[in-house]
Amino acid sequence: MADDVVVIQPGDERAQKIARAMASQTANAVIQAFGGGPLTSSEVARLMKIPITTASYHIENLLDAGLLEVTETRWSEKGREVKVYALANQVLIIAPPVSDLRSVLQKYATLFGLLIFASLSLLTFLPLVLPQGMPGGSWDSSAVPKMTGGSGEEFSTLRAPAFDTAGTPPVHDLVMGFFFGACAVLLALMVYEVYYWWRTAPRAQKEQEG
């Protein structure tokens, strides 16, 4: 499993570095060489039969783009530091840039409207599909014990319970639970997306650079 999930947008600094690092067939071949495991720059050069300067150049570009990482450092017999590189254990997600805050709010307003429609539909049709005798279904009054009053008139000793014998809550509670649960999820997603928009907005980027 990847250690990090990185979201990039077309045109941002990370995306530009990746594009530059992967701009040649040699860079793609270097990436494929690391598919077999960690390597040093000299091992990459020997494996691909290219000059070590060429291998080091592409490795540095891939390292700067975040596609490679240094896993360990060795020392040669001559006392030189030798770095061992490997593919970065991460997932890259390319997401389209958010145009403005208004589009984000409009999207979630639409989703909220769909949620209300779905909840009303459940409230209307769920009682029709529940078994007889369950909350929201048809109540069988003949199954309710009755007593005779002093005037000889029969009356029921029980009312429809809030839960059936299996502990099933009424339709209203089921629908409200669905509605508020979905609202909580939509609210959390909206807050995250608004925060992400704020962090990636040009003004916020200028403030961070300043």
The two structure tokens encoding residue 52? 């070590």
Tokens of residue 164, six digits: 């059936």
Whether residue 106 sits in one domain with residue 205? yes
Same domain, 113 and 181: yes
Question: What SS3 class is residue 116?
Answer: helix
DSSP string, 144-158: S-EEE-TTS-EEES-
Q: Please indicate, yes or no, whether residues 121 and 182 belong to a single structural domain of this protein.
A: yes
pLDDT score of 53: 93
Residues 166 and 146 in one domain: yes
Say whether pLDDT at 146 is over 70: no
| 24-65 residue pLDDT tens | 889 889 989 998 899 999 999 999 999 999 999 999 999 888
Q: Cα–Cα distance between 62 and 21 in angstroms, integer?
A: 5
- Answer whether 139's CB lies under 8 Å from 133's CB: yes
Higher-pLDDT residue of 194, 129: 194
107, 187: one domain? yes
Asked whether residue 4 carries a pLDDT value surpassing 50, the answer given is yes
Assess whether 31 and 110 both reside in one domain.
Answer: no
Binned at pLDDT 50, 70 and 90, residue 131 comes out as: low
Judge whether 105 and 111 are in contact, CB under 8 Å: no
Tell me the per-residue pLDDT of 166-181, one tens digit each, with 9 for 90 and over.
445 577 788 888 889 9
If one counts the domains in the chain, the total is 2
Please check the confidence at residue 160 and state whether its pLDDT lies above 50. no
Q: Residues 115-132: what's their mean pLDDT?
A: 79
Last residue within a domain, chosen from 48, 71, 94: 94
Q: For residue 84, what is the domain's CATH number?
A: 1.10.10.10
Range of the domain at 21: 4-94
